[in-house]
């Protein structure tokens, strides 16, 4: 057995033992896996490589931290509740439009922060009661917001798995917006109808109004949406006129958070920022661990060995391996799946369009948040809707998950043709 294979098995074994058996945080498990590989390979403690790896995703860490602060400011100001009210009041008699719009609202935090958990626990917690008021059972409402969390996590502008996969081959996170929209938005519309259309009927405003919090929107009105609109405008202008508005996502999110302090309900921005960063720490820790893991894989030759092994697999079996292993490995961490498996799979598919392929692989990796025993999105969604057994939510997600895998594999198979379309 090649020495690189031995090192790889040690890394995976230590990682799995730490995450599953000892129940350590994923970030600590990845640190221990990287450290064990350094020792086995004869590189000693290798502190320098661990530090370099930690800073490998510092730009992504800054984006997530500032995005979480912005998201907390939007939530505290009352903008999320107000957005719900506007959509329900306008589209309550047209369920075929109402459901996709509620799905988009539930996806919004994930789109900004790149975290499915953030999406479920913020906008999902706001949307879920509305879905149940409209007639959806708890399990279906939970599946709805869990799916919104996954799709929001993958939709632009922030997609952490795609950033990790691209970073593994030094590919910048540029040009991903269109393929990510094509991957996620049709599925968002489909699953919103799939999970909710049979239950949601036309409802009179008089029946809904007493069950909604109308205070913030009634007091502050449309100005609550100014931070969201300014952030969206600066993102677009940063692409169109980068010389003037290319200030970077962290600065844009902080500008939006500052506006959130003055347009709606008053709140302590320092306490909100502290709470937001505290919520983001598990994700930030995972990114630091992923950086160390990839750095040590590269140093010890494991990364090259995995890539060469993946290249030797027939294309048909490669697609099967992608469909099976990436979601299963994502049960520990979808980010870990993106780094450990996404990077070699992308290199094994070098003959295809790299941006479309990386975007598709990130969508499959995200399904790890549905996989037991962790199943973070499904567990949090069940808690939000009050469903005691999260397995009832998971059952609703089985067929949609298979559709997601098939959809992503189609994008990989026809990546060049899809790229030629735009």
Q: What is the DSSP string of 133-191?
A: HTT--HHHHHHHHHHHHHHHHHSSS--HHHHHHHHHTT--S-S-HHHHHHHHHHHHHHH
Give the total number of structural domains in the chain. 1
Alpha helices for 41-115 (secondary structure H): 47-54, 58-77, 79-91, 95-113
Distance, in Å, from the CA atom of 29 to the CA atom of 6, rounded to the nearest integer, reads 18
Pick the closest to residue 145 from 377, 394, 401 (CA basis): 377
Structural domain boundaries enclosing 321: 3-421
Cα torsion at 139, 390, 154, 247 (round to 10°)? 100
Long-range contacts of 82-88 (CB under 8 A, 24+ apart): 82/216, 82/217, 82/220, 82/224, 82/225, 82/264, 83/225, 84/126, 84/127, 84/130, 84/212, 85/212, 85/214, 85/217, 86/217, 88/130, 88/208, 88/212
Distance, in Å, from the CA atom of 168 to the CA atom of 170, rounded to the nearest integer, reads 6
Cα–Cα–Cα angle for 41, 46, 47, rounded to 5 degrees: 160
Cα–Cα–Cα angle for 277, 280, 286, rounded to 5 degrees: 135
Per-residue pLDDT of the chain (422 residues; tens, 9 = 90+): 788 888 888 888 888 888 778 888 878 888 898 889 998 888 887 888 888 888 877 887 888 888 889 988 988 998 888 887 888 888 878 889 989 999 998 998 889 888 888 788 788 887 888 888 888 999 999 999 999 999 999 999 889 899 888 887 778 888 899 999 999 999 999 999 999 988 887 666 666 666 666 677 778 888 999 998 998 888 888 877 877 777 888 899 999 999 999 998 889 989 999 998 888 888 788 788 888 888 888 888 887 787 777 767 777 788 998 998 889 877 767 887 887 788 888 888 878 999 999 999 999 999 988 887 667 788 888 888 888 888 899 999 999 999 999 999 999 999 999 988 87
Q: What is the DSSP string of 245-310?
A: H---HHHHHHHHHHHHHHHSS---HHHHHHHHHHHHHHHHHHHHHHHHHHHHHHHHTHHHHHHHHH
């Amino acid at each position: 057995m090649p020495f690189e294979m031995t090192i790889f098995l040690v890394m995976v074994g230590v990682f799995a033992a730490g995450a599953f058996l000892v129940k350590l945080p994923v970030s600590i498990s990845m640190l221990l896996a990287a450290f064990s590989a350094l020792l086995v390979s004869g590189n000693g403690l290798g502190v320098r490589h661990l530090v370099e790896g930690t800073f490998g995703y510092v730009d992504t860490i800054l984006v997530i931290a500032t995005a979480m602060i912005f998201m907390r400011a939007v939530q505290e100001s009352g903008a999320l509740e107000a957005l719900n009210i506007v959509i329900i009041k306008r589209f309550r008699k047209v369920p075929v439009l109402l459901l996709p719009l509620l799905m988009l609202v539930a996806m919004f935090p994930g789109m900004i922060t790149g975290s499915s958990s953030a999406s479920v626990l913020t906008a999902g917690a706001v949307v879920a009661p509305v879905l149940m008021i409209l007639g959806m059972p708890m399990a279906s409402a939970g599946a709805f917001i869990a799916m919104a969390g996954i799709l929001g996590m993958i939709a632009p502008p922030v997609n952490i798995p795609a950033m990790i996969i691209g970073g593994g081959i030094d590919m910048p996170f540029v040009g991903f917006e269109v393929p990510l929209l094509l991957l996620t938005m049709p599925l968002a519309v489909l699953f919103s109808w799939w999970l909710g259309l049979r239950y949601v009927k036309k409802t009179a405003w008089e029946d809904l109004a007493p069950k909604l919090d109308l205070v913030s929107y009634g007091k502050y009105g449309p100005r609550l949406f100014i931070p969201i609109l300014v952030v969206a405008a600066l993102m677009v202008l940063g692409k169109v006129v980068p010389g003037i508005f290319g200030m970077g996502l962290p600065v844009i999110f902080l500008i939006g958070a500052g506006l959130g302090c003055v347009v709606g309900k008053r709140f302590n921005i320092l306490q909100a920022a502290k709470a937001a960063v505290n919520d983001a720490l598990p994700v930030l820790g995972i990114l630091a661990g992923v950086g160390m893991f990839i750095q040590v894989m590269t140093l010890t030759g494991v990364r090259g060995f995995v890539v060469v092994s993946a290249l030797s697999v027939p294309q048909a079996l490669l697609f099967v391996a992608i469909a099976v292993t990436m979601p299963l490995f994502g049960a520990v961490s979808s980010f870990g799946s993106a780094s450990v498996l996404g990077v070699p799979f992308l290199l094994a598919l070098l003959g295809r369009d790299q941006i479309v392929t990386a975007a598709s692989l990130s969508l499959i990796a995200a399904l790890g948040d549905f996989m037991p025993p962790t199943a973070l999105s499904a567990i949090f969604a069940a808690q939000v809707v009050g469903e005691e057994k999260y397995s009832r939510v998971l059952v609703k997600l089985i067929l949609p998950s298979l559709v997601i895998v098939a959809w992503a594999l189609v994008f990989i198979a026809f990546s060049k043709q899809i790229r030629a379309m735009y």
